[in-house]
Amino acid sequence: MTNADFQLSKYPKTVKGALVTLDTSLNNVTSTIVFQYNPDTLTRSLQVQSADGEDNSRLEPLRLSWPPVETITLEAEFDTTGPLPKGKEKTAAELGVYPQLAALETLVYPTSAHVKETMRQAADGTVEILPFDAPMTLFIWGKERLLPVRLTEFSITEEAYDVNLNPVRAKVSLGLHVLSYKDLPEAMSRKLFLPHHERKERFSQLGRGRDLGELGIEGISGTSLGGFS
């Protein structure tokens, strides 16, 4: 082992974030779109779903109707001068980062085969233009966060091109809506969202305590609560 190899072996391999699509059985991966660089920041927003109705809010102020609506936003970067997957160097030299951008974009397109078949049947007067079911997409951010998501926002900023006008550097801003029990059929919820919910509960136990000493009070009672005034 060379000195350089020894230096590299001291550092763990960086796990990459990705978007992964599944087939209709939810058992088989149909595509994996790995972020070339992990985003520096990831913004998550949780909108609490409390009980509906003004009267209910007073009678049952702590009642939750559903899990919070969670949205995730991030910005991914792609660059042909950066680290490329093994065997992709030739493709990058010929097409830049267009293949990676296309892989992301097709997540929000119906397949051309579906469009052609629907158009053919419509021309024959046998079927209406039917909506297309996008593939089930998972946002994977480490082994502890595997979330079923729907892409809701998508913008691409192409920043540099080669001589053939293929983009060689680009930033992609993604908005993701996490699909929970409210969005998915029960069978899908059990398979895709429930494990995430259970992992979150397990981790929450590590982040909680019961000692009130750090708060300057000894207990929760009518007397001790006066200490907050």
Q: Which residues contact 118 (CB under 8 A, 6 or more apart)?
A: 127, 129, 130
Res 229: pLDDT? 42
pLDDT at 127 over 60: yes
What is the pLDDT averaged over residues 202-219? 81
Q: What is the three-class DSSP state of 54? A: helix
Higher pLDDT, 82 or 194: 194
Helical spans, DSSP H, in the chain: 3-9, 54-59, 89-95, 98-105, 112-123, 186-188, 194-206
Residue 158's nearest CA partner among 149, 166, 148, 146 is 166
Within 8 A by CB and 6+ apart from 54, the residues are none
For range 93-104, the mean pLDDT: 92
Query: pTM for this structure?
Result: 0.80
Q: What is the mean pLDDT of the chain?
A: 84
Mean pLDDT of 195-219: 84
Q: Is the pLDDT higher at 127 or at 76?
A: 76
Instruction: Give the three-class secondary structure for 179.
Output: coil
Structure tokens at 113: 């085969």
For the residues 25-31, what does the mean pLDDT come to? 91
Distance CA 14, CA 82 (A): 15
Higher pLDDT, 146 or 90: 146
